[in-house]
């Protein structure tokens, strides 16, 4: 038996990856996480996998099973952009991922790992996934720094896995994020606010060049994300860092209107000041340059539009309290 490993498997993108593998008749999956959050663990209900391994025991488990491992999707990370304890990020993001890289390099295991668009900071160098700008990037928070520090370290390594790809996720949204609290997507927060109060509160713009609600993000539906991760591992194109967004920035105002529409509710939006603790680190624009991914996976790749993705998420999952 050969195993497919998914770290962060009880989390948002990780659990959707397990579902994607199941949908492609792959069930010999080893799910890796800390499994301490019962709300998060519900993401794995009704999914088929072969073994469950605590993240602290993973490297010991791999000592016996490396030869049976077909590939690793390393999606586990601390993703809280409001956490400022660098030691947590050093342990769970930077050093843990270094150990995964070394393991894959030593054992000849293909690896896809989660980088982040948070590495781009305020976008001084654009949003292109060229390797030559990685050293110069200035992330706005310790989470983004931990992701960029690994990318920098990784690019300096002479020993690599037989195939590897670091995926720079942009603003991913979709089912299985109930456990994320403040870090959940604006869609989930909007749905809750509309359900409870009939209105949505959005951050006011604190830059004159942006109208309220017109802060722009590259929003990508999680089903598109896991589809591309699966394709990457199947095709194994040129190793490298790859942006994973849609290539089309949309405004929070557009997103919120799509939630009202999906719920069949009248629009009611008010604006509030961006909290001071994140105001100076708040991104007003992100948009993935997708040239490299499209060149390597094929220009025929199709993404859900924001309206299509939001409607699917709201009507098929949030309104039903369901999971993907």
Tell me, what's the pLDDT at 275? Answer: 87
Regarding whether 295 and 253 lie in a shared domain, the answer is no
Q: At what angle do helices 142-155 and 96-107 cross, to 10 degrees?
A: 30
* Listed range (96-105, 273-282, 293-302, 313-322) with the worst mean pLDDT: 273-282
Tell me, what's the pLDDT at 181? Answer: 87
Regarding whether 147 and 254 lie in a shared domain, the answer is no
Regarding whether 210 and 230 lie in a shared domain, the answer is no
Tens digits of residue pLDDT in 243-258: 999 999 999 999 999 9
**Tell me, what CATH number does 108's domain have?**
3.40.50.720
- Here the tokens at position 303 are 């993404």
- Give the structural domain span for 51: 3-172+219-248+289-304
Tell me, what's the pLDDT at 283? Answer: 80
When pLDDT is averaged across residues 286-296 and rounded to a whole number, the result is 95
Regarding whether 298 and 153 lie in a shared domain, the answer is yes
Tell me, what's the pLDDT at 80? Answer: 58
**Confidence band of 140 (pLDDT split at 50, 70, 90):** confident
Regarding whether 258 and 150 lie in a shared domain, the answer is no
**Measured between alpha carbons, how far is 30 from 25 in angstroms, rounded to an integer?**
15
Regarding whether 205 and 143 lie in a shared domain, the answer is no
Tell me, what's the pLDDT at 298? Answer: 84
Which of helix, strand or coil describes residue 165?
A: strand
The CB density around residue 101, as the number of other CB atoms within 10 Å, is 23
Regarding whether 267 and 229 lie in a shared domain, the answer is no
**Tell me, what CATH number does 313's domain have?**
3.90.25.10
Q: Is residue 107 part of a domain?
A: yes
Q: Is residue 323 part of a domain?
A: no
Tell me, what's the pLDDT at 85? Answer: 65
- For the chain, give the percent of residues with pLDDT over 90: 84
**Confidence band of 84 (pLDDT split at 50, 70, 90):** low
Q: What is the DSSP letter of 268?
A: -
Q: Is residue 324 part of a domain?
A: no
**Measured between alpha carbons, how far is 146 from 143 in angstroms, rounded to an integer?**
5
Q: Is residue 154 part of a domain?
A: yes
Regarding whether 223 and 202 lie in a shared domain, the answer is no
**Confidence band of 81 (pLDDT split at 50, 70, 90):** low
Regarding whether 81 and 24 lie in a shared domain, the answer is yes
Contacts with 194 (C-beta within 8 Å, 6 or more apart), sequence order? 200, 259, 260, 263, 265, 268
Q: Is residue 138 part of a domain?
A: yes
When pLDDT is averaged across residues 73-86 and rounded to a whole number, the result is 71
Catalytic residues: 143, 180
Q: Residue 299 above 80 pLDDT?
A: no
When pLDDT is averaged across residues 86-98 and rounded to a whole number, the result is 76
Q: Residue 121 above 80 pLDDT?
A: yes
Residue keyed to tokens 């270094």: 98
Between 222 and 94, the more confident residue is 222
When pLDDT is averaged across residues 29-45 and rounded to a whole number, the result is 95
Regarding whether 92 and 9 lie in a shared domain, the answer is yes
Contacts with 321 (C-beta within 8 Å, 6 or more apart), sequence order? none
Tens digits of residue pLDDT in 105-114: 999 999 999 9
**Measured between alpha carbons, how far is 305 from 324 in angstroms, rounded to an integer?**
19
Regarding whether 186 and 155 lie in a shared domain, the answer is no
When pLDDT is averaged across residues 201-218 and rounded to a whole number, the result is 94
Between 89 and 39, the more confident residue is 39
The answer to whether the beta carbons of residues 244 and 225 sit under 8 Å apart is yes
Q: Residue 284 above 80 pLDDT?
A: yes
Regarding whether 107 and 72 lie in a shared domain, the answer is yes
- What's the structural domain count of the chain? 2
**Measured between alpha carbons, how far is 196 from 194 in angstroms, rounded to an integer?**
5
Q: Is residue 232 part of a domain?
A: yes
**Confidence band of 79 (pLDDT split at 50, 70, 90):** low
**Measured between alpha carbons, how far is 257 from 307 in angstroms, rounded to an integer?**
9
- Here the tokens at position 52 are 């469950």
């Amino acid at each position: 038996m050969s195993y497919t490993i998914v770290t962060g498997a009880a989390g948002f993108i990780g659990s959707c990856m397990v579902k994607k593998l199941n949908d492609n008749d792959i069930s010999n999956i080893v799910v890796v996480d800390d499994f301490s959050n019962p709300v998060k663990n519900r993401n794995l209900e009704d999914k088929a996998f072969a073994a469950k391994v605590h993240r602290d025991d993973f490297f010991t488990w791999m000592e016996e099973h490396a030869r049976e491992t077909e590939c690793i999707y390393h999606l586990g990370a601390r993703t809280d952009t409001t956490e400022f304890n660098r030691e947590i990020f050093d342990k769970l993001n930077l050093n843990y991922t270094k150990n995964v890289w070394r393991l894959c390099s030593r054992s000849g295991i293909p690896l896809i790992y989660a980088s982040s668009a948070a590495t781009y900071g305020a976008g001084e160098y654009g949003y292109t996934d060229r390797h030559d700008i990685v050293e110069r990037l200035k992330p706005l928070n310790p989470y983004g720094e931990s992701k960029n520090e690994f990318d920098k370290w990784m690019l300096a390594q002479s020993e690599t896995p037989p195939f590897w790809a670091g995926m720079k996720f942009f603003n991913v949204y979709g089912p299985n994020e109930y456990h994320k609290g403040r870090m959940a997507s604006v869609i989930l927060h909007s749905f809750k606010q509309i359900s409870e109060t009939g209105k949505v509160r959005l951050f006011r713009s604190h830059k004159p060049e942006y109208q309220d609600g017109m802060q722009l993000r590259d929003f990508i539906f999680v089903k598109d994300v896991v589809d591309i991760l699966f394709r990457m591992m199947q095709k194994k194109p040129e190793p490298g860092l790859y942006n994973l967004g849609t290539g089309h920035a949309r405004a929070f105002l557009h997103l919120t209107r799509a939630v009202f529409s999906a719920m069949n509710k009248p629009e009611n939006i008010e604006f509030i000041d961006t909290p001071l603790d994140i105001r100076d680190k708040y991104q007003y624009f992100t948009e993935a340059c997708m040239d490299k991914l499209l060149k390597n996976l094929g220009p025929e790749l199709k993404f859900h539009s924001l309206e299509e993705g939001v409607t699917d998420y709201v009507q098929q999952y949030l309104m039903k309290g369901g999971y993907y």
